[in-house]
Amino acid sequence: MSGHILVTGATGALGTGVMVRLLETLPDTRFTILTRRPGQGAAHPRVEELRCDLMADGWTELLPRRLAQTLTGVLHMAADVRWNVSAVEALNMNTRVCARLADWASHNCHKLEHFCYVSTAYVEAPSHLKGAPGFFEHEGRVFNNSYEFSKSMGEREVLARSLPSVIVRPSLIVGDSRTGQIGRFNGLYTVLRFASQGLLPIVAGNRQAYVDIVTLDTVVKAVQLAFGRRPEPAGQIVWAISGAMSPKVEDVMNVSFQGLNAFRRQRGASAIDMPAVVPYDTYRRLYKPWFEQQASAIQKRIMEYLDVYTPYFSVTDVFRPEAGHTVVQSPDWRLALPRIVEHWCEANDIMALKPLRRWERSSNTIAS
């Protein structure tokens, strides 16, 4: 395929991996990257960077006319992926930016063959945890947090316009299945970071709940598939998920702590006890009141931060995409996840080997 693709989010956790593969598999295609900080990535003769702040008013009006005249594709990956921001913040980045880009493309890019929007599988989560922090309803639909809601609204904006659209829906993205590499350690990696320092005393969730993780290379394949053929009709949906092959919470915990402790033991550090997993109702009734009364300010902030993961550790079913949708299956987690944990430890060896910090009652700091 020859052409010219506009890319947002090229330097993010997903974008770095996607760009490498697209440059390899689309040798006749040029890429223009919108970025606030040009020069972060390695220079490439087929890649041009344009300085652009997607949150600035009127940013699409500043895009050069020559860009619109030659574009054959748009890949929109830029997003605020935090699960604990307000709905207003999430909508500003994940919905309104998407709407402006879709408007600009539909009115100005007359050679456009693909408009690919990277959303999230959790716009159609298999189950929701009512009462969890961030949970809310909108127009009869329920969402675990503002991120899911804003991405759902982003999909709506794309589908409402006359665009050759493809929507890619990944689940919880982790590293490459072969190397473990990923651009940024977001999402589930935060749990691993706290666990490595002994700051994860308990996990609210269900040991038998499904954790649908998808490896980076699987999401890259889904994006490649989106650009591999013209979407007819428009509005195609491509899922990148584990689906029925998803690990359960106890599987993720076991592999994570086995890998972390193996890394620590090989380097003379003490092992870390795996925290108990308790149902959210039990956590809310028994444990959370204790933390609120006895924990230090730092410890409270940690537990509040970890609250946003509870819905993803409480999913009672697997994704079941509609028959007309395309599914790209993630590799067997039993083979991929150990390498992903190992790579995190290698890339964050100082953190992974830190002496454990004890939780103490009525303390303003965490003892070392």
Q: Map out the domains of the chain with their CATH numbers.
A: 3-175+213-245 (3.40.50.720)
Tell which residue, 6, 16, 9, has the closest CA to residue 220. 16
79: Cβ–Cβ under 8 A, 6 or more apart, which residues? 9, 12, 93, 94, 118, 151
Burial of 211 (0-12, 13-18, 19+ CB in 10 A): buried
Extract the tokens encoding 35.
């970025």
> What is the β-pairing status of strands 165-170 and 114-118?
parallel
Distance CA 33, CA 16 (A): 12
Extract the tokens encoding 296.
């230090």
Q: How many CB atoms lie within 10 A of CB 255?
A: 18
What's residue 361's pLDDT?
Answer: 53
* Cα Rg of the chain (Å, integer): 21
213: Cβ–Cβ under 8 A, 6 or more apart, which residues? 171, 172, 173, 174, 188, 242, 246, 247, 252, 330, 333, 337
Helices (H) and strands (E) in the chain, counts: 13, 14
| CA–CA distances in Å: residue 45 to residues 20, 21, 77, 166, 174 | 13, 15, 22, 27, 29
What's residue 363's pLDDT?
Answer: 44
Q: What is the pLDDT along the chain (368 residues), one digit of tens a residue?
A: 579 999 999 988 899 889 998 999 899 999 999 999 888 777 899 999 999 999 999 999 999 999 999 999 999 999 999 888 899 999 999 999 999 999 999 999 999 999 999 999 999 998 877 767 777 788 888 899 999 999 999 999 999 999 999 999 999 999 999 999 998 898 899 888 988 888 888 899 999 999 999 999 999 999 999 998 888 888 999 999 999 999 999 999 999 999 999 999 999 999 999 999 999 999 989 988 988 888 888 888 888 888 889 999 999 999 999 999 999 999 999 999 999 999 999 999 999 998 876 665 544 444 43
Distance CA 46, CA 213 (A): 32
Paired residues of 48 in beta bridges: 32
Q: What is the pTM of this model?
A: 0.92
CA–chain centroid gap for 53, Å, is 21
152-172 burial string, b = 16+ CB within 10 Å, else e? Answer: bbbbebbeeeebbbbbbbbbb
CB 33 within 8 A of CB 76: no
CB 357 within 8 A of CB 270: no
What's residue 200's pLDDT?
Answer: 85
